[in-house]
């Protein structure tokens, strides 16, 4: 690498950023946390105790003016993303921003203009592009004939709960604020734009999406907001082609059928000390381990009923109890292991691209715009009850207002 270290400045350091990118920065030898800007002073104090940080502040503009910061990480609420992206790019920084990129098509245009004129690069946090399981699926797809039928399920149960009017997400559509991950994934896998898109569903956003492509391929997404169960894997994907099929569950188990030269795969969870056991015993072991270590702390009234089988049918009982014993009494965050959705890989790749001064393969401003535009078109379809010609929609002069 051309530089020894990359110096990071974090604008916003809430729960997600703290659990993902700050943690990755703290674990990565070539990353230095130069500064954190946040309005929560207690949170800043906690991070100062945990990490070696140059300084903390409640004024993000100090980070933009700091010549010692190479990369800005934006983890604030989504209604500030566009402004902070533009200011950071104009300050000459490389910029990582969490999803979605912005909230309106006017903001999209302003971001793309800033990106075009910037010395730095912009990455939107569509991490699934870097999940090992997704990369394997994409590699296999390159040798399979089209059309492809891809079916994806994103079930959030109560984890995306907008019932409170005090919640930032109240009134903001799930298909934009979380579904954008899967819309970007569709673009990444299909490598083309759909001709028509359609979404139907309920007022509480249990929706079904169909995207139709020129070659006859289809991408179908079932996305739930108030339906599902915590103990079931949040995400599942199935791929059907004239040359074979694939099935991915929880980014851990990939089954490949009917494709010459290919075989099934298991993928190790990230930051999990029991990765070898997962690779040995598979998805069932992984889910029951999570149930034992973390999920059983979640009250049933929040949607969890523990995974139960008759004692004589319960696999891995002794192994899981041996693993769980040392974790008794620890905070749940110290027992929370996650499947590898590409968070670490994507973030490190972008940092390494800066250090090597190479073009990153992360999602850029155009990818952020594509995911947003698909979401906007799907909302229009749901509103009218009719399919939307996506290519015409993209070139239309009218655009949704902020707040949708």
The per-residue pLDDT for range 90-147, each reduced to its tens digit, is 999 999 999 999 999 999 999 999 999 999 999 999 999 999 999 999 999 999 999 9
**Average pLDDT for 146-150:** 99
Domain limits, CATH 3.40.50.720, in the chain: 6-126+342-365
Average confidence (pLDDT) over 242-260: 98
pLDDT at 402 over 50: no
In degrees, to the nearest 5, what angle opens at C-alpha 74 toward C-alphas 71 and 78? Answer: 155
Place 297 in a pLDDT band, splitting at 50, 70 and 90: low
Which DSSP string corresponds to 294-341? TGGGS-GGGT-------GGG-TTHHHHHHHHGGGTTS-GGGS--B---
> How many other C-beta atoms are found inside a 10 Å radius of the C-beta of residue 118?
20
The predicted structure's pLDDT at residue 334: 73
- Can you tell me the mean pLDDT for 255-277? 95
Per-residue pLDDT tens over the stretch 356-383: 999 999 999 999 999 999 999 999 999 9
Q: What is the mean pLDDT of residues 339-356?
A: 98
Q: What is the pLDDT of residue 397?
A: 46
SS3 7: strand
pLDDT score, position 312: 57
Give every CB contact of residue 161 below 8 A, 6+ residues apart in sequence: 167
Note the CATH architecture for domain 6-126+342-365: 3-Layer(aba) Sandwich (3.40)
User: pLDDT value at position 72?
Assistant: 99
Q: What is the mean pLDDT of the chain?
A: 91
Strands 71-74 and 265-266: unpaired
């Amino acid at each position: 690498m051309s530089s020894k270290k990359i110096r990071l400045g974090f604008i916003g350091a809430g729960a997600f950023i703290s659990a993902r990118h700050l943690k990755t920065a703290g674990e990565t030898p070539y990353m230095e946390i130069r500064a954190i800007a946040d309005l929560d002073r207690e949170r800043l104090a906690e991070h100062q105790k945990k990490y070696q940080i140059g300084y903390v502040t409640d004024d993000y503009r100090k980070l933009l003016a700091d010549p010692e910061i190479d990369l800005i990480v934006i983890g604030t609420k989504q209604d500030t993303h566009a402004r902070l992206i533009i200011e950071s790019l104009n300050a000459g920084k490389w910029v990582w921003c969490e999803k979605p990129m912005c909230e309106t098509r006017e903001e999209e245009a302003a971001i793309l203009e800033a990106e075009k004129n910037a010395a730095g690069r912009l990455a939107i946090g569509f991490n699934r592009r870097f999940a090992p399981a997704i990369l394997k699926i994409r590699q296999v797809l390159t040798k399979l004939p089209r059309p492809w039928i891809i079916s994806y399920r994103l079930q959030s149960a109560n984890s995306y709960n907008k019932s409170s009017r005090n919640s930032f997400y109240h009134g903001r559509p799930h298909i934009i604020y979380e579904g954008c991950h899967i819309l970007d994934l569709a673009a990444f896998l299909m490598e083309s734009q759909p001709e028509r898109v359609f979404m139907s569903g309920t007022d509480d956003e249990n929706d079904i999406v169909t995207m139709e492509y020129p070659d006859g391929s289809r991408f179908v997404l079932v996305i739930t907001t108030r339906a599902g169960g915590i103990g079931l894997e949040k995400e599942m994907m199935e791929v059907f082609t004239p040359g074979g099929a694939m099935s991915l569950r929880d980014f851990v188990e990939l089954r490949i059928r009917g494709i010459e030269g290919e075989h099934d795969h298991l993928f190790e969870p990230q930051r999990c000390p029991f990765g070898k056991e997962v690779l040995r015993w598979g998805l069932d072991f992984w889910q029951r381990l999570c149930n034992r270590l973390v999920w059983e702390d979640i009250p049933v009234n929040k949607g969890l009923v523990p995974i139960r089988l008759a004692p004589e049918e319960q696999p891995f009982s002794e192994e899981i109890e041996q693993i769980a014993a040392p974790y008794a009494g620890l905070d749940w965050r110290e027992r929370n292991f996650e499947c590898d959705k590409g968070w670490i890989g994507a973030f490190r790749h972008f940092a390494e691209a800066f250090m090597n001064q190479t073009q990153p393969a992360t999602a850029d401003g155009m990818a952020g715009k594509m995911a947003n535009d698909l979401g906007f078109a799907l909302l229009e379809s749901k509103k009218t009850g009719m399919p939307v010609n996506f290519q015409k929609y993209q070139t239309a002069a009218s655009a949704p207002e902020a707040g949708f």
